[in-house]
């Protein structure tokens, strides 16, 4: 990708335009981090870029951005610009295209993101971003009040950058974050949710959570109730080794939230259905673990409901909460779950050796709810009790079920 980016910069220069790699890729390279994406800024106007790149996609043409394809890579290429007013605290009402990279960098959020590099490797750093990285400092470009009032989401991005890169937030920048925090209500719930999810699932989450718990930072009752109710410093060590969903569940457990309250939070903030299921299933599994500790049948029920991987993760969470690091006990517990999982012969009723029609034929009854109920009972006996999944044992078990339901010992043929 980096070689392709240099080729794209050279191509733009050959056609009379200046061009630079900008933003996060420059920051990450200075920090020695892997480069995930490379954004390009150029003096070429959007119309000129569309002429130079016939296959380009006008991704954000209003704000000067196109997606250009070069050597099998896609790059977001944006015309140098200055931004007008931000009446909605999310995006500029209008932009003005310019031909000066310094003016373009001046509109960016933090100094560590306001750097550029040309194809020869020359660093353009008018606001001291490299020095701030060396000093481990997060600082706004220019007036912090203006930066955060332009796009209030920058407040949460700043907290995420502070945690991810282990940076102290410069005092004036932090004060402006708190002053502008009420403007976060103008940001869509999806964008807020995505930033919070990146922090919980990212690097140094405890640091991010500590900042999020600052009084006055989040103008949302649900998040205040969650983050403020958890003594972040008291979170057991090892929080960062938990999975992303495990970290969410750990917070709810520490806050002693019930499943329904967690469900409301996830729905209200529009987490996907899959994300809701993943997190809530893990929470339910952790809550159910005490009943399965010595009850193999209950443990198998949980395995059928949630699967082996999730149950092992639930055990990990439980041990994390109790700060247990007994590797021998951990190994014993894991072996038990694996042994019980291996004993489960079938995972759903349709894997039974007989179906509903066989029951109808044998019992001579009309189809009805009794068929599904009987199959479910047989499924549990095979999966949980070890009943052989063969026609004759299944029919014998079905007869026994019906004898008991009919209150008679007369065999049904």
More confident residue, 88 or 138: 138
68 and 166, same domain (yes or no): no
Q: How confident is the model at residue 282 (pLDDT cuts 50, 70, 90)?
A: very high
Q: How confident is the model at residue 362 (pLDDT cuts 50, 70, 90)?
A: confident
pLDDT of residue 5: 86
Pairing of strands 123-124, 137-138: unpaired
Tell whether the model's pLDDT for residue 156 goes beyond 50. Answer: yes
Instruction: Please give the model's pTM, rounded to 2 decimal places.
Output: 0.83
What single DSSP character describes residue 412? P
Average pLDDT over residues 86-100: 80
Q: 339, 376 in Cβ contact below 8 A?
A: no
What percent of the chain has a predicted confidence (pLDDT) above 90?
Answer: 52
The chain-wide mean pLDDT, for the chain, equals 89
CATH at residue 317: 1.20.58
CA atoms of 176 and 162, how far apart (whole Å):
15
pLDDT of residue 80: 93
Average pLDDT over residues 172-194: 94
Note whether residue 378 is domain-resident: yes
Tell whether the model's pLDDT for residue 158 goes beyond 60. Answer: yes
Polymer length of the chain: 413
pLDDT of residue 412: 39
Q: 158, 177 in Cβ contact below 8 A?
A: yes
94 and 42, same domain (yes or no): yes
Average pLDDT over residues 249-268: 93
320 and 246, same domain (yes or no): yes
Lowest model confidence (mean pLDDT) among 117-131, 157-171, 357-371: 357-371
Q: Which residues contact 280 (CB under 8 A, 6 or more apart)?
A: 259, 262, 263, 266
Q: Where are the beta strands (DSSP E) in 54-105?
A: 57-60, 65-70, 73-79, 81-83, 95-97
More confident residue, 374 or 199: 199
CA atoms of 277 and 271, how far apart (whole Å):
10
10 and 93, same domain (yes or no): yes
| 3-state percent breakdown (helix, strand, coil) of the chain, nearest 5 | 60, 10, 30
311 and 370, same domain (yes or no): no
Question: Where among 109, 129, 149 does a domain terminate?
Answer: 129
120 and 12, same domain (yes or no): yes
Question: Where among 211, 230, 249 does a domain terminate?
Answer: 230
Give residue for tokens 């939070």.
265
Q: How confident is the model at residue 82 (pLDDT cuts 50, 70, 90)?
A: confident
Q: 206, 240 in Cβ contact below 8 A?
A: yes
CA atoms of 292 and 300, how far apart (whole Å):
8
Q: Which residues contact 156 (CB under 8 A, 6 or more apart)?
A: 184, 192, 195, 196, 199
Q: 128, 79 in Cβ contact below 8 A?
A: no
357 and 304, same domain (yes or no): no
More confident residue, 28 or 320: 28
Average pLDDT over residues 374-379: 88
CA atoms of 162 and 157, how far apart (whole Å):
9
Task: Write phi, then psi, for 59 (nearest 5 degrees).
Answer: -55, -50
79 and 8, same domain (yes or no): yes
336 and 378, same domain (yes or no): no
Q: Within the chain, how many helices (H) and strands (E) appear?
A: 20, 11
Note whether residue 411 is domain-resident: no
Q: 53, 73 in Cβ contact below 8 A?
A: no
Note whether residue 285 is domain-resident: yes
pLDDT of residue 274: 95
Lowest model confidence (mean pLDDT) among 208-222, 225-239, 304-318: 225-239
Number of domains in the chain: 4
What percent of the chain has a predicted confidence (pLDDT) above 70?
Answer: 97
Q: Which residues contact 327 (CB under 8 A, 6 or more apart)?
A: none
Q: Which residues contact 159 (CB under 8 A, 6 or more apart)?
A: 169, 177, 199, 208, 211, 212
- Bridge partner list, 83: 95
**Coil, strand or helix: which one is 116?**
strand
Note whether residue 412 is domain-resident: no
pLDDT of residue 410: 42
Question: Where among 328, 344, 360 does a domain terminate?
Answer: 344
253 and 226, same domain (yes or no): no
Pairing of strands 73-79, 168-169: unpaired
pLDDT of residue 20: 95
Note whether residue 31 is domain-resident: yes
Note whether residue 413 is domain-resident: no
CA atoms of 411 and 393, how far apart (whole Å):
15
Domain that holds residue 364: 349-406
Both structure tokens of 45: 């106007």
CA atoms of 200 and 230, how far apart (whole Å):
14
pLDDT of residue 413: 36
- Side-chain half-sphere CA neighbours of 300 within 13 A: 21
pLDDT of residue 136: 97
98 and 141, same domain (yes or no): no
CA atoms of 111 and 137, how far apart (whole Å):
9
201 and 278, same domain (yes or no): no
Note whether residue 363 is domain-resident: yes
Average pLDDT over residues 16-26: 93
Average pLDDT over residues 322-332: 73
CATH at residue 148: 1.10.110.30
**Most confident region among 61-65, 230-234, 235-239, 306-310 by mean pLDDT:** 306-310
CA atoms of 290 and 359, how far apart (whole Å):
37
Q: 98, 80 in Cβ contact below 8 A?
A: yes
Q: Which residues contact 409 (CB under 8 A, 6 or more apart)?
A: 403
């Amino acid at each position: 990708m980096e070689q392709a980016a240099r080729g794209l910069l050279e191509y733009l220069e050959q056609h009379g335009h200046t061009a630079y790699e900008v933003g996060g890729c420059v920051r990450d390279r200075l920090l020695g981090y892997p480069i995930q994406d490379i954004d390009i800024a150029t003096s070429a106007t959007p119309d000129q870029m569309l002429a130079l790149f016939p296959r380009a996609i006008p991704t954000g043409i209003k704000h000067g951005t196109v997606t250009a394809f070069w050597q099998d890579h896609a790059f977001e290429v944006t015309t140098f610009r200055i931004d007008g007013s931000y009446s909605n605290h999310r995006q500029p009402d209008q932009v003005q295209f310019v031909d000066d990279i310094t003016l373009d960098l001046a509109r960016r959020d933090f100094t560590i993101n306001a750097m550029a590099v040309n194809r020869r490797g020359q660093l353009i750093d008018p606001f001291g971003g490299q020095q701030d990285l060396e000093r481990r400092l997060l600082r706004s470009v220019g007036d912090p009040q203006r930066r955060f009032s332009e796009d209030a989401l920058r407040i949460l991005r700043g907290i995420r950058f502070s945690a991810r890169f282990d940076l102290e937030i410069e005092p004036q920048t932090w004060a402006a974050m708190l002053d502008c925090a009420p403007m976060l209500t103008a940001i869509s719930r999806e964008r807020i949710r995505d930033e919070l999810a990146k922090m919980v699932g990212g690097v140094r989450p405890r640091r991010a959570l500590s900042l999020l718990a600052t009084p006055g930072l989040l103008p949302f009752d649900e998040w205040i109730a969650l983050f403020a109710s958890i003594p972040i410093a008291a979170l057991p060590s090892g929080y960062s080794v938990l999975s992303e969903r495990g970290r969410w569940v750990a917070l709810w457990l520490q806050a002693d939230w019930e499943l329904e309250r967690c469900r409301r939070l996830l729905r209200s903030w529009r987490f996907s259905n899959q994300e809701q299921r993943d997190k809530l299933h893990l929470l339910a599994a952790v809550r159910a673990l005490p009943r399965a500790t010595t009850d193999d049948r209950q443990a198998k029920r949980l395995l059928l409901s949630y699967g082996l991987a999730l149950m092992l993760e639930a055990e990990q969470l439980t041990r994390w909460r109790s700060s247990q690091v007994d590797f021998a006990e951990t190994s014993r517990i894991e072996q038990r779950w694996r042994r019980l999982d291996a004993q489960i012969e079938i995972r759903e009723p349709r894997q039974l050796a007989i179906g509903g029609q066989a029951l109808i034929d044998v019992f001579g009854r009309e189809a009805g709810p009794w068929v599904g109920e009987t199959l479910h009972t047989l499924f549990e006996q095979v999966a949980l009790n070890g009943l052989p999944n063969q026609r004759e044992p299944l029919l014998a078990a079905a007869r026994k079920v019906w004898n008991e339901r009919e209150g008679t010992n007369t065999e049904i043929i």
